[in-house]
Structure 1
Amino acid sequence: MTASGAISAAGGRSAAPRALRRGLLALALLFGAAGGAAAEEGDAARGGELVRRNCGVCHAVGLRDASPNPAAPAFRELGTRYPVETLAEALAEGILTGHPQMPEFSFPPEDVNAIIAYLKSIQTRQGAALSPAQAGAAAGSATSSR
């Protein structure tokens, strides 16, 4: 059989087209996964820029820096309190806290995704000790608004 899928002399289909299809599928999956990872890295980089610009005045936003405001938690440690994904709603609707020094922030969905990607990339400890229900309650009470 030829690569076009013609019947072989033995009466069956050749394995060549099947192997070719599998190889092309594997390449497509590989490049798709690499593209997704590159997009997430790009989102994380953009998220890093957003938190440096909007939050870095008070919070430590990198892997090793100290918070300029000692009362402001380091972003790399948020994962020890709750899963950072639980901040998505508060980031979109507006973060409101109990102290007047922190301004209210709200971000469009693409910025929220970028910020969450960045926060996930810098966590010193993935997965908090809190259950998802506890984490949602903690994030909601500490950061929700409106």
Structure 2
Amino acid sequence: MKQFAFTAVLLSFALPAMADELIEFGREIAQVNCASCHAISTDDASQHPEAPPLRELSARYPLDALAEAFVQGIYVGHPDMPEFEATVEQVDALLAYLDTIQNPVP
């Protein structure tokens, strides 16, 4: 029983740290791949007039539905959007980050 309690205590500290690392990795992916056109935080402006802020994606699409599109590669969006393909790990990180910046859906 003591081993379980010790493991539970360790996990309670490790899981938030792992989640923070995943979210930060997702923010870095957004910065490298999206920021030249899209607003990538809660209060910045999109650089491209046809690129919606990433914080508004959940109003347009269920975020879970974007996972497959990211893995298969997004080829459409705004007309001059570059191709974007990601690994499963990158998609998990990007979706974790996107979830943290979404505007509440009315």
Relative to the length of structure 2, the TM-score reads: 0.87
Which stretches in structure 2 are left out of the alignment for 5+ residues?
none
Cα pair distance change 1:31/1:113, threshold 3 Å? same
Q: What is aligned with 2:56?
A: 77
Count of residues in correspondence between the two structures: 106
Is 1:115 equivalent to 2:84 in the alignment?
A: no
Q: What is aligned with 1:63?
A: 42
Give 1:82 shift. 2.6
Query: Percentage identity across aligned positions?
Result: 40
Q: What is aligned with 1:94?
A: 73
CA RMSD of aligned residues (A): 1.8
CA contact (8 A) 2:42 2:55 kept: yes
Q: Report 1 or 2 for greater relative contact order, CA contacts < 8 Å, sequence distance ≥ 6.
A: 2
How far apart are the structure 2 equivalents of 1:120 and 1:64? 15
How far apart are the structure 2 equivalents of 1:99 and 1:114? 23
Which stretches in structure 1 are left out of the alignment for 5+ residues?
1-20, 130-146
How far apart are the structure 2 equivalents of 1:122 and 1:30? 29
The runs of at least 4 consecutive aligned structure 1 residues that moved more than 3 Å come to none
How far apart are the structure 2 equivalents of 1:105 and 1:89? 12
Q: Secondary structure at the match of 1:97?
A: coil
Relative to the length of structure 1, the TM-score reads: 0.65
